[in-house]
Structure 1
Amino acid sequence: MLQELVIHDFAIIETLTIDFNRGMTVLTGETGAGKSIIIDAVGLLAGGRGSADFIRTGAKKCTLEGLFVVDDVTAIKARLETYGIPQEDDTILVQRDINQNGRSSCRINGHLVNTTILKHIGEMLVDIHGQNEHQELMYPEKHLGLLDHFAQKKIKPVLKTYQTQYAQYKKLRQTLKKRQEHEQEWAQRLDILKFQTSEIEAANLQLNEEDQLITERDRLENFQRINESLASSYQALNGDEQNTIDRLGVAMSAMQDIAALDPAYGALSESIDSAFYELQDAASEISRQLDSLSWDEGRLDSIEKRLETLTELKHKYGQDIAAVLKYYDKIKKELDEMENIDADNDELTQQVTTAKAAVTKTAAKLSKVRHQAGLALTSAVQQELADLYMDKAKFSVVFLDADQTPHFMETGQDSVEFYIQTNPGETSKPLAKIASGGELSRIMLAIKTIFSRNEGVTSIIFDEVDTGVSGRVAQAIANKIEIIGQSSQVLCITHLPQVAAMADFQLLIQKQVQANRTTTSVTPLVAKERVEEIARMIAGTEITALSLEHAHELLRLADVEKEQLTQLKN
């Protein structure tokens, strides 16, 4: 349940803190006092769409906080853990700020979340039933969803299996259709991929090969120049009696004789020693290079051809060898996928047939479960409508004929529409076409009453669902909302004294103008205050002795009614 709501700079509310209780709480007050604003705030905490228009004039942002107490900690804790949100006890703190740019900052138990996650968690905390929500019944395409929601424990696992099978069947069917429609293009593409992969595979490409080949080619093309330079260098270093190394050896010996006499001589001696041995090493390496140097015209031709092959592949498939290899990986994957799809259309056709048989069987099972759920929903709604003085009406869940829905859909093969017979002797017709606004409102309340028994939502909010009704129908609606309040916390905005009298708690919402600014206040009503507010709801602006007496009587009758409803439940 919603235990505490804190609002800052939201619409006409500057600062407001409201404590709520279990059971049924009504919010009453003049039109425009701010009752719906409070419900809007709760809706935003449950993941509703935010807007900068909610921010109070002159403020930089609005801030909302809600503290919820949950009875079934296990269920909501599992969902919180999905998003890495900590949960230690039975309370959940939800916070939301809306900035002037319209963006929201949302937190659950101090953990920053986006609005999608907030909505996913919020749907387990709050269910808001607005005065226009019965319009959902006006769209037959939504009726199947309502039926599935009613029997979700039985329908959901079958529907999940069906959707998995349907996705596989749809994929195979589309593949077959594509191949049948574009068989020539398919074959051409297959041939192209085979040729390209074979061509690249045959080249046996290596990442650094081209650079190495270019280096080797350059050496072969400059063989004469390299040979002459190496020979000349070796001759100068170690070729005759006047070679550089021998002469440096003489200098080295001479400096070694005086190296100990002066540090400067020692340093010079070390430098000459180093140069001598480095030149010796260089001469040895030059000699080795000369020995290994050879001319192979055939090898040069081979290198040129290999480089031509690499250039051709780069021209076709990429700017360098790495790009060619990347392209190869891509087309090899595509080729593997095409080859893995059965090459023979007859075999693929058999796969489609098998997949269709599986999805058909599951669709039939899903339809059977839905038909059973339809009967249960019909019976349950019929009972609720009787309580709402629509006992003459006959509600039914109609499944369209199979020939009207021959194709598989994401939701199955069923097409469902709610029908109603409003008066005896009339033909049952689509609810969306013949039901009045008051009837739609009561039917939706009946459905909501049924759903509330097993949804596990901590708070259910009714925003003026009793608009346009009076008399015994108003009392029936009040009784129905009170019954829901026995298993869930109910917050209800109402202008009907019958509904207000049935509440366990009553909050008076008032609007005042202070310092040229409009503010909203919330006052919990007890005893005399509550009698006076209900009397005002009965009489209007002027409270009379008769309206006060009527208010006392309504509260007394409400206590009797609640006691009877409790006994019926038990």
Structure 2
Amino acid sequence: MLASLSIRDVVLIDRLDLHFQPGLCVLTGETGAGKSILLDALGLALGQRAEARLVRHGTAQASVTAAFDLAPDHPARVLVNEQGLDAADGDLILRRVVNPDGRSKAWVNDQPASVGLLKQLGAALVEVHGQFDTQGLLDPASHRAILDNYAGLHAPLAETGKAHRTWTEAERAVTQAEADLEQARRDEDFLRHAVEELHLLAPEPGEEQQLAENRTMMQNGEKLIEAMSAATTALDKGNGVENALRTALRQLERIADKMDGRLDEAIEALDRAAMEVAEGRDQIQRTAQAVDLDPRHLDQVEERLFALRAAARKHNVAVDSLAALLDRLNAQLNGLEDDGAQLETLRKEARAARETYLRAADRLTQGRRAAAGNLDRAVAAELPPLKLERAVFATHVETRDDPADWGPQGRDRVAFRVSTNPGSPPGALNKIASGGELARFMLALKACLADADPIPTLVFDEVDSGVGGAVAHAVGERLGRLAHQVQVLVVTHSPQVAARGSHHWKVSKAAADEQVRTTVSPLDDGKRREEVARMLSGAEVTEAARAAADSLLDGAP
């Protein structure tokens, strides 16, 4: 939920810090007091378009910071982590700064972020509904996921997604096999020649490096022999290093028992040195004997190395990839020789995977159609009290026949449609309903879908516009009921709605120091009574209005 909102230098607001709670949060005030500025400021933090007009005149910049208290596994935290940012364990904090030229910068948990990411997070955190500017449910692209969540179709969705991946992979294998077979048929003569040539060459992985090392050793054989001979001569000079170490060792061993162990380490070191010298000399001799000085052998190594490199250049692969190339060309040749039997096997597997996907998608469709009927009936029950008794809500589930329209979520397109006049065909929400009707449709839908929607905060901007009496009471009752499931912020001019609030703020505008400023004040019970009475009676609050306010407040649960 939205935990706090801090606003600096936005239009008429110079400095404002608001702290919100769960439940129904009501904002009221005179027309023009600045309630829309609050929503504009919140929109900035949620990644909406920045405009220069939002920066308070005479200031260097406007800034808005919104903090959200979320569950550890909320989709917004997952999105932040996917972007390589620290989601932290506390509040998720979105911050936006706008300059007087309209340019802006964004931060997530004090880490620089794109405005695009801010907008994605905003869509997962807050949904705004009003007379003229709405989102979320008006986007047909979201309707299928909303219906699936409402129906709890998580298992069928997972099954369909898995079946779609299997089918897609099988079709990809068929496509690749067909291309390979067609290519093999076009290049059959070349293919047979290449296979025969590589088979005779018999390349092995790692062979190039070994041949190159042998060639280098053979090319420098005489220098290597000369150097190793000189090393041996140096070791054998005089009586030899090993003999000198052994002589010194014998001299020390004769007196060791008289030195109380003080020569033990020296004796051990000399003994090791003598053995290492002997081992080193033997290794030099063995290595020298292994050096191949036969020029015919050098020619053979070079001929093999050059043949491998020539074949690699011819086929445009690395030398170490020649063995794998031979296997692949052999497979293509075998595909020709078995007359496409392997391809037919792949096609059978793809057809079976397609049927499995279709069965899973059909089960998903059945679940959606059943849920659509349930949702339509639930929404229909919400409409009459909202003065929409002649309206019809219909969830349209269209199953697509073109495989190009199929996907991991099945074959269906889902759209929420309404008709506000009897006999008129249902159409898109934002095309059929008027401003006031649209907001009430959104409220009815949200009342039915609250459990299925992960968005934790809903904002309703004057959802009660143009209605009063029993309809306003019904709007307030549904907002209050909805607030038991998610946090609801409502901007209202209706006393029936305001009386339902768990928390109440008043938005005011006043002149000070030759400047007009908007302020927002939390109302205690007494001030709340006065505000509801003002909403009932107008500028002059009468005792009758206060009594009516008491009646409304006492009647609210």
Same fold (TM over 0.5): yes
Shift, 1:413, TM fit: 1.9
Q: Is the 8 A contact 2:378 2:448 kept in 1?
A: yes
The CA deviation string for residues 112-145 of structure 1, in whole angstroms up to 9 with x for no partner, is 9888887787777644434446576666554333
> In the alignment, which residue of structure 2 is the partner of 1:521?
519
CA distance in 2, matches of 1:337, 1:85: 50
> In the alignment, which residue of structure 2 is the partner of 1:105?
107
Aligned pairs for 1:300-311 (under 5 A) are: 300-311=298-309
> In the alignment, which residue of structure 2 is the partner of 1:24?
24
1:521 aligns to what SS in structure 2?
strand
Q: 1:443 to 1:305 in 2, by over 3 A?
A: same
**Does residue 1:207 correspond to 2:209, yes or no?**
yes
Shift, 1:352, TM fit: 1.0
Match of 1:430 among 413, 427, 430: 427
Match of 2:476 among 474, 478, 491: 478
1:207 aligns to what SS in structure 2?
helix
Q: Is the 8 A contact 1:510 1:522 kept in 2?
A: yes
1:157 aligns to what SS in structure 2?
helix
CA distance in 1, matches of 2:333, 2:527: 81
Q: Is the 8 A contact 2:129 2:461 kept in 1?
A: yes
Tell me the amino acid that sits aligned with residue 463 of structure 2.
Answer: V
Aligned pairs for 1:114-513 (under 5 A) are: 126-132=126-132, 140=140, 142-151=142-151, 154-177=152-175, 179-180=177-178, 183-185=181-183, 191=191, 201=203, 205-207=207-209, 209-210=211-212, 212-217=214-219, 296-313=294-311, 315-316=313-314, 324-325=319-320, 344-400=342-398, 408-423=406-421, 426=423, 428-432=425-429, 434-453=432-451, 455=453, 458-470=456-468, 472-513=470-511
Q: Is the 8 A contact 2:128 2:134 kept in 1?
A: no
> In the alignment, which residue of structure 2 is the partner of 1:279?
none
Q: Is the 8 A contact 1:159 1:366 kept in 2?
A: yes
CA distance in 2, matches of 1:333, 1:8: 69
Q: 1:428 to 1:217 in 2, by over 3 A?
A: same
Tell me the amino acid that sits aligned with residue 429 of structure 1.
Answer: P
The CA deviation string for residues 455-496 of structure 1, in whole angstroms up to 9 with x for no partner, is 475543222333454554333322321222344432111233
Q: 1:313 to 1:550 in 2, by over 3 A?
A: farther
The CA deviation string for residues 22-68 of structure 1, in whole angstroms up to 9 with x for no partner, is 432221234554323433444565x5357585665633572525364
Q: Is the 8 A contact 2:131 2:436 kept in 1?
A: no
> Percent of counterpart pairs with the same letter?
27
Structure 2 gaps of 5+ residues are 239-283
Q: Is the 8 A contact 2:127 2:135 kept in 1?
A: no
Q: Is the 8 A contact 1:51 1:98 kept in 2?
A: no
Q: Is the 8 A contact 1:406 1:413 kept in 2?
A: no
Q: 1:444 to 1:214 in 2, by over 3 A?
A: same
Shift, 1:18, TM fit: 1.9
The CA deviation string for residues 378-418 of structure 1, in whole angstroms up to 9 with x for no partner, is 11101111221223333332333676899633431223344
CA distance in 2, matches of 1:67, 1:472: 35
Q: 1:289 to 1:324 in 2, by over 3 A?
A: closer
> In the alignment, which residue of structure 2 is the partner of 1:94?
93
Worse overlay, 529-538 or 30-39:
529-538
Aligned pairs for 1:528-547 (under 5 A) are: 529-530=527-528, 533-534=531-532, 537=535, 543-544=539-540
Shift, 1:441, TM fit: 2.5
The CA deviation string for residues 427-449 of structure 1, in whole angstroms up to 9 with x for no partner, is 65335464444333322211111
Shift, 1:508, TM fit: 1.8
Q: Is the 8 A contact 1:484 1:490 kept in 2?
A: yes
Q: What CA RMSD, in Å, does the superposition of the two structures yield over aligned residues? A: 5.1
CA distance in 1, matches of 2:374, 2:548: 35
Q: State TM-score, norm by structure 2.
A: 0.69
Q: 1:149 to 1:329 in 2, by over 3 A?
A: farther
Shift, 1:17, TM fit: 1.7
1:27 aligns to what SS in structure 2?
strand
1:201 aligns to what SS in structure 2?
coil
> In the alignment, which residue of structure 1 is the partner of 2:5?
5
Shift, 1:147, TM fit: 1.8
Q: 1:340 to 1:61 in 2, by over 3 A?
A: farther
The CA deviation string for residues 190-234 of structure 1, in whole angstroms up to 9 with x for no partner, is 9499689765725862425325414524668x99xx99xx99x9x
Tell me the amino acid that sits aligned with residue 20 of structure 2.
Answer: F
| Aligned length in residues | 492
Q: 1:52 to 1:213 in 2, by over 3 A?
A: farther
Q: Is the 8 A contact 1:137 1:440 kept in 2?
A: no
The CA deviation string for residues 240-268 of structure 1, in whole angstroms up to 9 with x for no partner, is xxxxx99xxxxxxxxxxxxxxxxxxxxxx
> In the alignment, which residue of structure 2 is the partner of 1:263?
none
Q: Is the 8 A contact 1:2 1:459 kept in 2?
A: yes
Structure 1 gaps of 5+ residues are 238-244, 247-285
Tell me the amino acid that sits aligned with residue 522 of structure 1.
Answer: V
CA distance in 2, matches of 1:48, 1:404: 36
Q: 1:156 to 1:295 in 2, by over 3 A?
A: closer
2:460 aligns to what SS in structure 1?
strand
Q: Is the 8 A contact 2:149 2:452 kept in 1?
A: no
> In the alignment, which residue of structure 1 is the partner of 2:14?
14
Q: Is the 8 A contact 1:27 1:492 kept in 2?
A: yes
Shift, 1:368, TM fit: 1.4
Q: Is the 8 A contact 2:131 2:461 kept in 1?
A: yes
